[in-house]
Amino acid sequence: MSQQQYDLGVTCDMHVHVRDGKMCELITPTIKAGGISVAYIMPNLQPPITTIDRVVEYKARLEALSPDTTFLMSFYLNEQLSPELVAKAADMKCIQGIKCYPAGVTTNSNQGVDPNDFTKFYPIFQVMAEKNLVLNIHGEKPPVKDGDITVLNAEIEFLPALEKLHRDFPNLKIILEHCTTAEAVEMIERISSENVAATITAHHLSLTIDDWCGNPINFCKPVAKLPKDKRRLIEAATSGKPWFFFGSDSAPHPIENKSKCCGCAAGVYTSEYCIPYLAQVFEQQGKLDNLSKFVSFNPLKFYRLLNDEHIMNKPHCILYKEEQTVVAEIIKDDIKVVPFKAGEKLNWNVKWE
């Protein structure tokens, strides 16, 4: 019997956290190990990345750690950015987009924006639209004391703000990052625009609230929601539709920050096994033929990279059946990180051709 395999093309993970320092050294090379060739890097370091010098320096550091990976870089949206700086960074091709965090919703988001008032950033959005930069949005409303916004409905409550942004900037490419709810999927489908997309993580295709309840290792923001939401995300991810593509939101934390009785760090680390995790889900749905759209064609098209020769000439990721792929219990060097589904078996592995 011939080996079952799929050419996934030039694979992209359009939402990756590789952090800084020792963690960055440990984690950056695992992007390639997980079957990813092009990685869009999140800027929520401490302090956040808001200057050309820092984004250039960070990218060079990542390239030194993993020369085969293509790093797409981003700024962190806050008041330190000016339209002039954004235009210059775009012209220099230092960044592909800007990440927008509502203040207070997730790891290192305290310098983020007030999602009730995007208008002060409208001059920046205008430049972004002109310069073909992507706006990456963490789409959650922050909770208000004694209010009704919780981790469960924070994304749903944010959706009208995203629709308004699209109406005000129809030519700006906007991504609702790591979407987690049926309502978000339905909004993206209703808009059906080549300028509005959603990324979907690997872990949100597997987890529901019961999986992170009592298991901080599966706790992330936005939190995994209900079974009906998971089903809708699986349907969207495996559909092949152009406005859904992969962004792992792989977010490593040292194990000691995940093993606390109070204040566990939010984030699931998936980079090392990204493509095998996804293959598992696509296989279950009988949709492995659509996996290359989700991880390659759709993100490359949305980010206008299908004509980028450097990227298009990169080796392809080949997915092949290997039923005894066991997820490591821990990824370690000086620091220890527990990967998603640690110790579990996966059916697939990756190679490059």
Residues engaged in binding its own copies (CB under 8 A): 143, 146-148, 150-152, 208-210, 212-217, 219, 223, 226-228, 255, 258-266, 338
- Classify the C-alpha dihedral 105-111-114-120 as positive or negative: negative
Pairing of the two strands 345-352 and 244-246: unpaired
Shorter beta-carbon distance to its own copies: residue 67 or 286: 286
Give the nearest distance from C-beta 115 to its own copies in angstroms: 17
Question: Are the C-beta atoms of residues 83 and 127 closer than 8 Å to each other?
Answer: yes
Give the nearest distance from C-beta 209 to its own copies in angstroms: 5
Question: Are the C-beta atoms of residues 99 and 75 closer than 8 Å to each other?
Answer: yes
Shorter beta-carbon distance to its own copies: residue 260 or 304: 260
Shorter beta-carbon distance to its own copies: residue 9 or 216: 216
Tell me how far apart the alpha carbons of residues 199 and 162 are, in angstroms, rounded to a whole number: 14
Give the nearest distance from C-beta 227 to its own copies in angstroms: 5
Tell me how far apart the alpha carbons of residues 65 and 150 are, in angstroms, rounded to a whole number: 39
Q: Quick count: other Cβ atoms within 10 Å of Cβ 132?
A: 14
Residues 6+ apart with CB under 8 A from 157: 140, 141, 149
Give the nearest distance from C-beta 71 to its own copies in angstroms: 29
Shorter beta-carbon distance to its own copies: residue 13 or 229: 229
Matching residue, tokens 């599966």: 218
Shorter beta-carbon distance to its own copies: residue 175 or 266: 266
Shorter beta-carbon distance to its own copies: residue 145 or 167: 145
Residue type, 38: V
Partners of 134 in beta bridges: 97, 173
Give the nearest distance from C-beta 223 to its own copies in angstroms: 6
CA distances from residue 102 to 198, 238, 270 in whole angstroms, order as listed: 17, 29, 24
Tell me how far apart the alpha carbons of residues 79 and 111 are, in angstroms, rounded to a whole number: 9
Matching residue, tokens 């987890």: 207
Give the nearest distance from C-beta 320 to its own copies in angstroms: 27
Helix, strand, or coil (residue 255): helix
Give the nearest distance from C-beta 181 to its own copies in angstroms: 14
Give the nearest distance from C-beta 148 to its own copies in angstroms: 5
Shorter beta-carbon distance to its own copies: residue 228 or 351: 228
Tell me how far apart the alpha carbons of residues 166 and 173 are, in angstroms, rounded to a whole number: 8
Shorter beta-carbon distance to its own copies: residue 237 or 266: 266
Pairing of the two strands 134-137 and 97-100: parallel
